[in-house]
Structure 1
Amino acid sequence: MNRSRTLHFLLIIGFVLTGLSSSLAQNQLVQKGDRLYDNKEFAAATNYYEKHLENSEDIATKRKLANCYLQMQKDTEANYLLESIVSSSEVNAKDYLQYATLLKRVRNYEKAKIYFEKYAELVPEDKNISKLILSCDLINELQDDQLYSIKSISLNTPQSDFASGFYKNGLVFVSGRKNNTSNQVDGRTGEYFLDMYFSEKSGDNFLNPESFSNDFNTKYHEGPACFSANEKFIFFTRNKGTLNLEGKSELNIYTSRHNGRDWDKEEIFQFSGQSYSMGHPSISADGRHLYFISNMEGGYGGTDIYVCRKYGFSWSHPINCGPTINTDGNEMFPFIAEDGYLYFASDGHIGFGGLDIFKSIFEQNEWTYPVNLGPPFNSSKDDFGYLIQKNKEIGYFSSNRNGSDDIFEFIQNPEKIQSLNGLLIASDNKQALKDVEVTLMDNLSREKSTKTDGNGLFSFDIFKGKNYSFIVSKPGYKIKRILYFASSDSTELKQLNISMDTTHWVPFKGNIIDQFSARAVKDASIQIINQTYKSNSFCITDDYGDFEQEIDPSKTYDIIIQKEGYFTKVINSYQYQSAKFEQIELQKFSTNQNMELYGVEYDADSWKLKENTIAELNNLAGLLKVNPHISIEISGFTKQDKGRKENNLLCEQRAKVASEYIISKGITPNRIQYKSAGYNSGRSALVVKLTEAF
């Protein structure tokens, strides 16, 4: 009997120990997975989470495994898990948002909208959710009109491959394929660390790729890169794997010069190496603007697009491209084309899902609203890394629409191209008009410009089945906008005959002088913008500061006057009154220059903005808006001495509230600093110092 009881007791102990052992093993699986997950080694963490969930329904582990799948582009597996999670009684708002985002990525827009709306009910304060819901309705309007044909290029491998930049007669690209510089595998992706490669193009084919540079490619991640127009300078991204105080690995930009034989040793770009990331560089054709992404403080979301301007041998402090370009999501992979268009990828603007490719141009002193390129460039997956050659006939972009990141080549579909010819004549005598400026517009986006020849003729290659508009302009004639509607049949296009009515144009004359010295300002640029047609004309001041440009006196214009070293001046809604000679003053600036805001008023011990103060701050915001290359520091003062501590608290609050007001007017936060300056009976309550001025 005693033996039987002892045996029974031992069996119970055995079962308990087995259960404890099993539970301990399960916990160890989760702990190992969590360590890898926290280090963003998602591919490695997946194995432990999957084993744990074989015997568990733990929703926290399901959430982490679903995120691993999403990071690894395993949408089918992620969909299965998230569908289970949103059906659970433990579902939360973030689960709805993540599931809706995945559904949108796999093009199930109707179902995605349902779960975006579920999220909105729980988190109504999220300002971005209305845009996501709207995108599910609008995205079907962007259909593939087959104007471009795309193909996956031969350089692609099962690993990640994405385009980086044009170089010589070929392409520099980034790849996670097996390489000779690193035997390490990235735990986040399960691929080798990224390196840069070069492949020369022969005809329509790419030759075998080779390492771009054994000096640049290291055991860390390298790429993407860009090159100056003369290909003597390179800027490239490197992730050295070092962690910041938050445990995140940061990107840095490096640069090097080609000495005629080889590349010099790379140097870190002057604003890199800080407690934030900088990467994905793209330099303008004139070498004066370097665009890149960063998560530095003062942005709008995850990563924003910034620009540094070069004057002489100096680069300006990074300037955020502003809220028209940047969102509370991620903007990445900028590419500044030779025609001035900025192409970039974003998951914050309305798109198909994941990253989509957009374009914008800086004209009339501001960025135009970004245009989604639509299919075939954008899909429900991540699309990015857009590159296009000067003639716009061939280009590349990258996408993970087929599973892993691949490079795609696109060309204009020759079957969709046709020539549209036109003739400009005077309506009174039917004579052909030469030197008429003809601008082809596509959805208010300027596509091409040309001038009529001696016989009044012009020609554009356009896409079949697409609607356009034309703006025609010539001094002495009324400016016209002509709407062109595509024909429904495929017959050859007839010549477009356009007659222009004469009208009286007048010379807009003026003189630009320095505000303080009254000396002539030569080589100042005057941009005259017709408000009706948004067409531009330009002129430059001569050695005496004089300029002259013919305009239609019946129209209203915005005039932008620019000169390096001076504040940009904008004259809005200018209407011609008489033949008087306009004299316009420009104010010179210099770094560390102080500007007293004399109209600022505060009640004693108050930082509340009064009417006069708001007016002064509106003027300051206007100045910053038309001078995007300027950064400032606002100092707060008080004329009543209440002791150092109270003085500093009051003055800092005044400067802070003033800064926040200016930011609310659309000025990017990283352009404004503020501080307390304390008691000074002789100073204005707010003083502005130019901390950066190029």
Structure 2
Amino acid sequence: MKRIILLIALVFSASLCVAQSQDLSRANAYFDRTFYSDAIPLYENVIKEERSFEIVKNLADAYYFTNDLKNAERWYRFLVKNYPNKIDEKYFFRYSHALKASGNYEEANVVLRNQMILSEKELADFDKEIVVLENIASIGNRFDIKNLPINTEKSDFGAVQFGNKLIFASPTNDSKKYKWNNENYLDLHAVSSVDFSKSEAITVAFSKVINTQMHESNAVFTKDGKKMYFTRNNYVDGIKGKDKNKVSHLQIFSADFENGEWTNVKSLPFNSDAFSTEHPALSADEQTLYFASDMPGSIGSFDIFSVKINGGSFGKSVNLGPTINTKHKEQFPFVSKDGKLYYSSNGKMGFGSLDVFVSELKKGQFSEAVNVGFPVNSGYDDFAYSMDSDTGIGYLSSNRPGGKGNDDIYQITETKPLIVQDCQQLISGIITDETTKLPLENAVVILQDVTKTEIQKITTSSDGKFSFTGGCEKAYLVFASKEKYTENSRALKLNKERNKTNDASMALKSFEEIKKEETIALLEKKKEEEKAKVYEKQIAETKKKEDAKKAILKKKEDAKIAETKKKERIENLLATEKDVVKDKDRLVIKTEPIYFDYDLWYIRKESKPILNKVIDLMKRYPEMIVEIGSHTDVRGNNRYNLDLSEKRAKSTREYFIENGIPKNRISSRGYGETVQIVKCIPEEACNEEQHELNRRSEFVIKSI
């Protein structure tokens, strides 16, 4: 079973490969014969599986030559991205036109500028042409344009006025199809110019003598209506002429109008089986015939030529040269009554594909051709332009989107002259007094370039206004001055926006006002300095007060902390030392009585061990400060008692110092009889034991 499935898959794959190979062979055959419409679906089928250089290139070209520029852009983009080293300049050229058709002008110009091999001069000319085209685009729409009801879903083009009729080319339904675009062959048709703008206008074949089974198009008539020139395939007396490659080229024929009919159809003598001549146009004096051709000596694929008409004979064909022609394609010439040559070109800088250009013949030389602008020109083929220069009404053919068929005829009415101007902007403003805001008269305003070279100078009137014209995308300096005033300047960089107004208004200040301001400023400075001093003093006072408050708060906080720590130390001391006791709000070192001899103050021997205990305690607590208080009883003179107690206290202190207690840790004070334990008033109220209680030495701890 697996072998059967595998065999079926192999057979299907082989069949698919054979089918694709057959499609590719047929597509290539159609392409080589310029049957592009037939080649496209076959290439589209093959390209799903294979995207080789040849297949992509041919598909892109097929779309390009059938004016499907959207799809052409897609495949040219693929070609440029994937095969950049295999394609030559013409593909970048076609790609750029496909880009322009979708409005991508900047990208199209980048493609051309980067890929085309140009000298420095050619690059400079290229950039200038872009600027010129931008200048033309800035004019806006120069024409009113209207799609005519005579258009069909096929190709209708090449309309010219002939008497009260409009003559144009259009496919005839009963003719065979032209494989390039799969439309029927073209014939010349006529419609009443009175009725052609109406939907019920009736179109008829122009002439059975003129129309054949081959292409006929682009007729031009003499003013008297007795002669016409038109384009037809190389087809004479029912015989189709071909070149060595079996291609039937286009030729120009003439015909005479005699007895109400066209007759005497002739191929003009400068035609050839080897090349095409097409699109005849007559000069205003009808002494010169202009046409397009790819004959030997052409600059591009098709050029515009002229030939002198000498009665019934013709002179030598003359190429109009590089002023008119390019290395690409120039076709569809037309000469207006006022002698201007119009033609279509895809080689000159335009808006995409064929654009209509105009040139004037001056002293035997044609001027540089100029793009006629919007909306005649678009991103698509715009051609077969004709115009009555007296009325400003004419006709145009185009394959632009929005039409009814492949090519449509449009009636155009010129509404604006073709005046090409460089992009400009206005630089204007008012010079004012900076103080009063009023305009300044007699101010000098100078416009300078980036090198500070003077371009223009203006002296303002009473309104203070000035105005200059500057080029777009340029930088300028506007300089303003006035006697007894300061100077001022403005630097401006203009963008691409046309007719934009750039405000360069400036204010100047008078020297008198500056002097006033300096005086005022000096006074204000002094005031500010005084204010600053007052303020600094206030700040200093405020800081001092705040610092004092902080100090007080800190002192209180420190005292609080110290008191807490003191309490902790006292509690620890009381808990540790049994000889330390609390006496009301005092902390006292409790000792045995210290005795002195009557009326004496030296330390007795038996008192020293008692004092030594106190000394040892103080040494255990190095932070401890003690006051020695000596007291007497009430007997005797107060003064005497106070002096005696003072001497005894000092004697005790000296003992402490002699035994290693620092002076700053021990103090002494004699209280006399001022602090009694037992109140003995009068002194006889107390017995000897009570007097002895009052006669004492106390060791009060002042700090720990």
Partner residue of 1:399? 398
In structure 2, C-alpha distance between the alignment counterparts of 1:151 and 1:190, rounded to whole Å: 27
Is 1:105–2:101 an aligned residue pair?
Answer: yes
| Letter of the 1:108 counterpart | N
| Letter of the 2:187 counterpart | D
Partner residue of 1:175? 170
In structure 1, C-alpha distance between the alignment counterparts of 2:131 and 2:99, rounded to whole Å: 14
Deviations 1:220-272 (A, max 9, x none): 11111111110100111102465422454311111111112211141111111
Evaluate the alpha carbon distance shift between residue 99 and residue 91 of structure 1 in structure 2; reply closer, same or farther with a 3 A threshold: farther
Contact 1:229 1:285 in 2 (8 A): no
Partner residue of 1:162? 157
Contact 2:306 2:318 in 1 (8 A): yes
Contact 1:244 1:275 in 2 (8 A): yes
In structure 2, C-alpha distance between the alignment counterparts of 1:60 and 1:367, rounded to whole Å: 41
Partner residue of 2:222? 228
**Secondary structure at the residue paired with 1:157?**
coil
* Aligned-residue offset at 1:138: 4.4
Partner residue of 1:464? none
Evaluate the alpha carbon distance shift between residue 89 and residue 194 of structure 1 in structure 2; reply closer, same or farther with a 3 A threshold: closer
**Secondary structure at the residue paired with 2:338?**
coil
Contact 2:70 2:102 in 1 (8 A): no
In structure 1, C-alpha distance between the alignment counterparts of 2:122 and 2:20, rounded to whole Å: 39
**Secondary structure at the residue paired with 1:142?**
helix
Pairing of 1:67-82 with structure 2 (within 5 A)? 67-82=61-76
In structure 2, C-alpha distance between the alignment counterparts of 1:275 and 1:346, rounded to whole Å: 23
Contact 2:143 2:374 in 1 (8 A): no
Partner residue of 1:201? 193
In structure 2, C-alpha distance between the alignment counterparts of 1:42 and 1:340, rounded to whole Å: 38
In structure 2, C-alpha distance between the alignment counterparts of 1:220 and 1:89, rounded to whole Å: 39
* Aligned-residue offset at 1:127: 9.1
**Secondary structure at the residue paired with 1:302?**
coil
In structure 1, C-alpha distance between the alignment counterparts of 2:320 and 2:67, rounded to whole Å: 30
Deviations 1:92-129 (A, max 9, x none): 44354432231123220122233224423xx4579977
Partner residue of 1:684? none
Pairing of 1:595-606 with structure 2 (within 5 A)? none
Contact 1:163 1:171 in 2 (8 A): no
Counterpart among 110, 115, 118 of residue 114 in structure 1 = 110
Partner residue of 1:150? 145
Evaluate the alpha carbon distance shift between residue 257 and residue 89 of structure 1 in structure 2; reply closer, same or farther with a 3 A threshold: closer
| Letter of the 1:168 counterpart | G
**Secondary structure at the residue paired with 1:395?**
strand
Pairing of 1:332-347 with structure 2 (within 5 A)? 332-347=331-346
Unpaired runs of at least 5, structure 2: 235-239, 422-467, 469-704
| Letter of the 1:236 counterpart | F
Unpaired runs of at least 5, structure 1: 1-6, 418-440, 445-484, 486-694
Pairing of 1:283-302 with structure 2 (within 5 A)? 283-302=282-301
In structure 1, C-alpha distance between the alignment counterparts of 2:32 and 2:144, rounded to whole Å: 42
**Secondary structure at the residue paired with 2:350?**
coil
Deviations 1:260-293 (A, max 9, x none): 2211141111111341111100122432111111
Higher mean C-alpha displacement, 214-223 vs 91-100: 91-100
Evaluate the alpha carbon distance shift between residue 158 and residue 203 of structure 1 in structure 2; reply closer, same or farther with a 3 A threshold: closer
Partner residue of 1:549? none
Pairing of 1:1-400 with structure 2 (within 5 A)? 15-88=9-82, 92-94=86-88, 95-120=91-116, 123=117, 135-136=129-130, 138-143=132-137, 144-176=139-171, 178-180=172-174, 182=175, 184-202=176-194, 205=197, 207-240=201-234, 242-400=241-399
**Secondary structure at the residue paired with 2:258?**
coil
Evaluate the alpha carbon distance shift between residue 213 and residue 40 of structure 1 in structure 2; reply closer, same or farther with a 3 A threshold: same
Please tell me the root mean square deviation across aligned C-alpha atoms, in Å: 2.9
* Aligned-residue offset at 1:136: 4.8
| Letter of the 2:353 counterpart | G
In structure 1, C-alpha distance between the alignment counterparts of 2:195 and 2:153, rounded to whole Å: 25
Evaluate the alpha carbon distance shift between residue 10 and residue 113 of structure 1 in structure 2; reply closer, same or farther with a 3 A threshold: same
Contact 2:360 2:366 in 1 (8 A): yes
* Aligned-residue offset at 1:304: 1.0
In structure 2, C-alpha distance between the alignment counterparts of 1:18 and 1:127, rounded to whole Å: 60
The alignment covers a number of residue pairs equal to 410
Evaluate the alpha carbon distance shift between residue 89 and residue 197 of structure 1 in structure 2; reply closer, same or farther with a 3 A threshold: closer
In structure 1, C-alpha distance between the alignment counterparts of 2:50 and 2:232, rounded to whole Å: 40
**Secondary structure at the residue paired with 1:378?**
coil
Larger-Rg structure: 2
In structure 1, C-alpha distance between the alignment counterparts of 2:84 and 2:142, rounded to whole Å: 48
Contact 2:158 2:217 in 1 (8 A): no
Partner residue of 2:413? 411
Deviations 1:176-216 (A, max 9, x none): 3x434x1x111111211111111112278353111101221
In structure 2, C-alpha distance between the alignment counterparts of 1:167 and 1:88, rounded to whole Å: 52
* Aligned-residue offset at 1:16: 4.0
Report the TM-score, using the length of structure 2 for normalisation.
0.54
In structure 1, C-alpha distance between the alignment counterparts of 2:223 and 2:230, rounded to whole Å: 15
Contact 2:241 2:273 in 1 (8 A): no
**Secondary structure at the residue paired with 2:342?**
strand
**Secondary structure at the residue paired with 1:202?**
coil
| Letter of the 2:191 counterpart | S
Contact 1:294 1:304 in 2 (8 A): yes
Contact 2:150 2:197 in 1 (8 A): no
In structure 2, C-alpha distance between the alignment counterparts of 1:124 and 1:246, rounded to whole Å: 34
Deviations 1:58-85 (A, max 9, x none): 3321221111111222122222223333
In structure 2, C-alpha distance between the alignment counterparts of 1:156 and 1:124, rounded to whole Å: 42
In structure 1, C-alpha distance between the alignment counterparts of 2:38 and 2:122, rounded to whole Å: 33
Deviations 1:26-68 (A, max 9, x none): 1110000011111101101111111112333333212211111
| Letter of the 2:392 counterpart | E
In structure 1, C-alpha distance between the alignment counterparts of 2:99 and 2:211, rounded to whole Å: 38
Name the structure where strand makes up a greater proportion of residues.
1
| Letter of the 2:177 counterpart | V
In structure 2, C-alpha distance between the alignment counterparts of 1:128 and 1:242, rounded to whole Å: 41
* Aligned-residue offset at 1:382: 1.2
Deviations 1:345-402 (A, max 9, x none): 1112221111111111222121111121111211121111111124142111111112
* Aligned-residue offset at 1:324: 1.3
Evaluate the alpha carbon distance shift between residue 285 and residue 101 of structure 1 in structure 2; reply closer, same or farther with a 3 A threshold: closer
| Letter of the 1:407 counterpart | I
Name the structure where helix makes up a greater proportion of residues.
2
In structure 2, C-alpha distance between the alignment counterparts of 1:203 and 1:89, rounded to whole Å: 53
Partner residue of 1:436? none
In structure 2, C-alpha distance between the alignment counterparts of 1:262 and 1:297, rounded to whole Å: 36
In structure 1, C-alpha distance between the alignment counterparts of 2:13 and 2:289, rounded to whole Å: 61
**Secondary structure at the residue paired with 2:31?**
helix
Report the TM-score, using the length of structure 1 for normalisation.
0.55
Deviations 1:471-501 (A, max 9, x none): xxxxxxxxxxxxxx9xxxxxxxxxxxxxxxx
* Aligned-residue offset at 1:133: 6.1
In structure 2, C-alpha distance between the alignment counterparts of 1:349 and 1:186, rounded to whole Å: 29
| Letter of the 2:81 counterpart | S
**Secondary structure at the residue paired with 1:263?**
strand
Contact 1:112 1:136 in 2 (8 A): no
**Secondary structure at the residue paired with 1:102?**
helix
Higher mean C-alpha displacement, 53-62 vs 286-295: 53-62
